[in-house]
Amino acid sequence: TQKILLDMDPGIDDAAALSIALTDDTFQVMLLTTVAGNVSVDKTTKNALRLVEFFNQEKVVPVAAGASAPLIKKYADAADVHGESGMDGWQFPDIKTDVLPEHAVVAMRNVLMSSPEKITIVATGAFTNIALLIRMYPEVLPKIAQIVLMGGTLGKGNITNVAEFNVFTDPHAAQILFTSGLPIKMIGLNVTLQALLSKENIRKLGEINQTGQMLQALFNHYADDQNGAKPMHDVNTLFYLSQPESFVFEDYHVEVITEGPANGATVANKETDKNVSVAIKVDVEAFNDWFMKKIIAI
């Protein structure tokens, strides 16, 4: 099993990633933390708890609420893509579980410092919590095996022509993370817009099990759509951890533009010291097969 910390903003594609992380026993989710992103942190935290309870993991996976706004930039949500609740489309029962009393950043620190081995952090929202963790508790850096993140792009953006949403939401946090010296695997739009879950597989989901029905209902409300096929952005982080051979990476020097018209753009070059391993290719068929198998196995 791989021990992981998950930092997310569920979010429909986050929900799909979380469904797999919570049920696939090759992963052990040590902590689930939330951040403002697709919707407010109150909503992303509720959604995280909803999914933890959906999979009966409330006694196993602790949830801690994190930053309610970016470090410097004004917060703006993506409710137009994920719905007002952040997970529109499925009626979840009332939440019974409480979050941890401490802030996500403190909870992350505690888990990392008390672990004998290094832990991988999977980050699929704005990087505000991670940047705060780096700045507040630098003693955790040697405890982090790697950061596997969904964010940025080598190509076109989705929130502006040049910027990807997670980086754009808190560009200063992303810049702190990229320049932290931590080992980073960046899985950006240039690959996640390739790894679409096919229209046919989305149709099949409803026939598999209750998880398939729940995800299908969310996907039907997910405005990120390419002729009926849907990008599963955040799910690629777990696909990478499960099946790294399905990706090709190249090392780049990546930094983030934090102002002006290119705000939130990830600039990548090969001429200077390399700090980020960037995904440049993904096996789309293997992604679809893996995803469907994981849902069937739930």
| SS3 of residue 196 by DSSP | strand
Contact by Cβ (8 Å): 20, 238 = yes
Beta strand 276-282 pairing with 247-256: antiparallel
Binds ligand BDR (CB under 6 A): choice among 7, 14, 77, 170: 14
Cβ 167 to ligand BDR shortest distance, Å = 8
Element (H, E) at 199: helix 199-205
> Mask 4-23, x = binds Ca ion (CB under 5 A)?
-----x-x--x---------
Stretch that binds ligand BDR, among 11-19, 51-59, 136-144, 273-281 (CB under 6 A): 11-19
* Region 233-252 residues binding Ca ion, contact defined as CB under 5 A: 234
Question: Would you state the structure tokens that stand for residue 157, as one six-digit string?
Answer: 């953006």
- Can the peptide bond before residue 260 be classed as cis, meaning omega within 30 degrees of 0? no
**Residue 168 and residue 74 in contact, taking contact as beta carbons nearer than 8 Å:** no
158 binds ligand BDR (CB under 6 A): yes
Binding part of the chain for ligand BDR, among 87-95, 161-169, 256-264, 270-278 by CB under 6 A, reads 161-169
Q: Which helix (H) or strand (E) holds 191?
A: helix 189-192
Write down the least CB distance from residue 73 to ligand BDR, Å: 15
Find the binding residues for Ca ion in span 123-182 (CB under 5 A). 124-125
Distances (CA, A) of 16 to 214, 231, 236: 10, 11, 10
Candidates 293, 83, 89; CA nearest to 205 is 293
Among 46, 109, 143, 233, binds ligand BDR (CB under 6 A): 233
The CA angle 126-255-241, to the nearest 5 degrees, is: 55
CB of 233 to ligand BDR, least distance (A): 4
Residue 198 has φ and ψ, to the nearest 5°, of: -65, 155
Task: Sketch the per residue contact string, 64 through 93, with ligand BDR: x for CB under 6 A, - otherwise.
Answer: --------------x--x------------
Identify each DSSP E strand in 57-174 by its residue range. 63-65, 119-123, 144-150
Among 8-16, 46-54, 98-106, 259-267, the segment contacting ligand BDR (CB under 6 A)? 8-16
Sequence-separated (6 or more) residues with CB below 8 Å from residue 297: 23, 24
**Which range, of 79-87, 96-104, 227-235, 281-289, touches Ca ion by CB under 5 A?**
227-235
On the CB side of 50, CA atoms within 13 Å amount to 24
221 among known catalytic residues: no
The residues in 114-133 that bind Ca ion, with binding defined as CB under 5 A, are 124-125
Q: Is 124 in the site for ligand BDR (CB under 6 A)?
A: yes
- Name the residue whose CB lies closest to ligand BDR: 165
Q: Please give the residue ranges that form the binding site for Ca ion (CB under 5 A).
A: 9, 11, 14, 124-125, 234
Q: Please give the residue ranges that form the binding site for ligand BDR (CB under 6 A).
A: 11, 13-14, 38, 78, 81, 124, 150, 158, 164-166, 233-234
Provide the annotated active-site residues. 233
